[in-house]
């Protein structure tokens, strides 16, 4: 689910022109999985999936579709993530050849992971203020050059639900600034 809202305002401060953008967004994501997790698969001839590592390109392109064996079990809500953003940005025009984009985004990520019985197993709520800065120069009308720097708050990865490979299946790792 997603909701976005915003407004734009144009104004001048002396010879400098501004296009101010103010807005916000909210989105939520729910992932539903099967309780069994990874169901073993085989090809129709009984060969285990995935195939061996030393296949030729032709063999890879002509592989049959795997057949999943067994019951994946009932479904359950495994993760819920909500992201809210408040954005303010200004497209500033100094001259016909020089302009800049300057903005900030205040993000909050709330993420929760649940086990197959519905109990909360991990989660977090983190916020960060991240910048966006670009300087744009047009040496001639048909050529635009620019330098940009941007940061963003990204949700943490969810460890795959495979206890055979991971000691912390289903755990949500902390978010990072990208």
Could you give the CA distance from residue 86 to residue 153 in angstroms, rounded to a whole number? 12
pTM score of the predicted model? 0.70
Distance CA 68, CA 71 (A): 9
CA–CA separation, 176 vs 171, rounded Å?
15
> Which pLDDT does position 45 carry in this prediction?
65
Residue with tokens 């579709």: 65
Which pLDDT score is estimated for 147? 98
Distance CA 88, CA 55 (A): 52
Positions in the chain whose pLDDT score sits under 70? 37-55, 59-60, 63-70, 161
State CA 160 to chain mean position distance.
Answer: 16
The whole-number pLDDT of residue 113 equals 86
Contact assessment for residue 128 and residue 154, using Cβ atoms and an 8 Å cutoff: no
Compute the C-alpha angle 82/4/123, nearest 5°. Answer: 5
């Amino acid at each position: 689910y997603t909701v976005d809202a915003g407004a734009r305002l144009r104004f001048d401060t002396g010879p400098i022109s501004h296009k101010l953008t103010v807005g916000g967004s909210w989105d939520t994501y729910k992932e539903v999985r099967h309780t069994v997790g990874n169901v073993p698969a085989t090809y129709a001839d009984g060969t285990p999936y995935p195939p061996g590592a030393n296949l030729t390109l032709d063999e890879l392109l002509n592989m049959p579709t795997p057949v999943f064996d067994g019951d994946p079990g009932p479904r359950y809500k495994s993760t819920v993530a909500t992201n809210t953003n408040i954005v303010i940005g200004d497209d500033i025009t100094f001259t016909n050849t020089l302009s800049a984009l300057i903005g900030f985004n205040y993000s909050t990520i709330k993420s929760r992971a649940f086990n197959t019985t519905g109990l909360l197993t991990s989660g977090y709520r983190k916020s960060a203020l991240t910048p966006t800065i670009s300087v744009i120069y047009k040496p001639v009308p048909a050529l635009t050059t620019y330098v940009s720097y941007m940061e963003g708050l990204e949700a943490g990865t969810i460890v795959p639900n495979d206890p055979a490979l991971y000691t912390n299946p289903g755990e949500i790792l902390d978010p990072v600034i990208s």
